[in-house]
Amino acid sequence: AFALAQDSSRFFLSADSLKKHSSIYLAGTLWKYHAGDDSLWASPAFDDSDWIEMKPTMDLDSIPKGTWTGIGWFRLHFAVDSALRNKTLAMTMGHDGASEIYLDGTLVHRLGTVSASEKQEKTYAAAWSPIGLHLDGNAEHLLAIRYSFLNAEKIKSRYGVWAGFSGFSMWVEELNGSIDNYVDD
């Protein structure tokens, strides 16, 4: 897996890195995280400077107890070089929970139904299908993921190491190559 260098506030993605590595593993980097649920957290204007940083894969054995409460938001601030502006990339995602994907405050896609209620949550075994992320002409962006997996602790205690991670994995790729790979698989 390849993750780009990251300073404390921003991840950088370049066209050269996508050509060289064909896909970039976004879940291998630190994201801003906050337990709970508030629609304001999708907004690029929201100040997340006091949120904790963690990888969204969420190995429940490695994070402090009580960090994962069943629902939360992950935010990744990133910058792109000029060659990626006004381009559509493919994002692929894997998880056993439910997610909503926001780019710059706009809902892009849903996988399942995110909820703090077990009756309303509908988990979705995400199967790495490409999701289009259209980057406008701006150099800086925010990817925000609203994520729930209310039974994560229960499944982890039942299946142990076989349960793997409770969060999500995510890759970004060139759009057409991602579609070709998905069809081939």
pLDDT tens by residue, 44-63? 999 999 999 999 999 888 88
The separation between the first and the last C-alpha atoms of the chain, rounded to the nearest angstrom, is 19
pLDDT tens by residue, 116-142? 999 999 999 887 888 999 999 999 999
For 57-81, what is the mean pLDDT?
92
With a cut of 80, say whether residue 84 has pLDDT above it. Answer: yes
Name the least confident of 35-39, 65-69, 85-89, 164-168: 164-168
DSSP conformation class of 64:
P
Q: What is the pLDDT of residue 184?
A: 67
With a cut of 80, say whether residue 16 has pLDDT above it. Answer: yes
The model's confidence at residue 168, banded by pLDDT at 50, 70 and 90, is very high
Q: Apex CA 144: angle with CA 74 and CA 129, to 5°?
A: 100
Higher pLDDT, 73 or 178: 73
Q: State the Cα–Cα distance between residues 4 and 25, nearest whole angstrom.
A: 8
For 89-115, what is the mean pLDDT?
96
For 145-158, what is the mean pLDDT?
90
Name the least confident of 5-9, 10-14, 87-91: 5-9
- Element containing residue 153 per DSSP (H, E): helix 152-159
Q: State the Cα–Cα distance between residues 135 and 104, nearest whole angstrom.
A: 9
Write out the two tokens for 107: 């809902």
* Residues 179, 173, 144, 60, Cα dihedral to 10°: 100
Task: Return the bridge partners of 174, or none.
Answer: 89
* 32 within 8 A of 51, measured Cβ to Cβ: yes
Higher pLDDT, 50 or 158: 50
Which of 47, 48, 52, 50 lies closest to 67, judged by CA? 52
Q: Rounded to an integer, what is the distance from CA 110 to the centroid of its chain?
A: 12
Output the DSSP codes for 16-38.
HHHHHHSEEEGGGS-EEEEES--
* Contacts (Cβ under 8 Å, ≥6 apart) of 66: none
User: Which residue in the block uniquely carries the two structure tokens 């429940």?
Assistant: 60
Write out the two tokens for 55: 């990888």
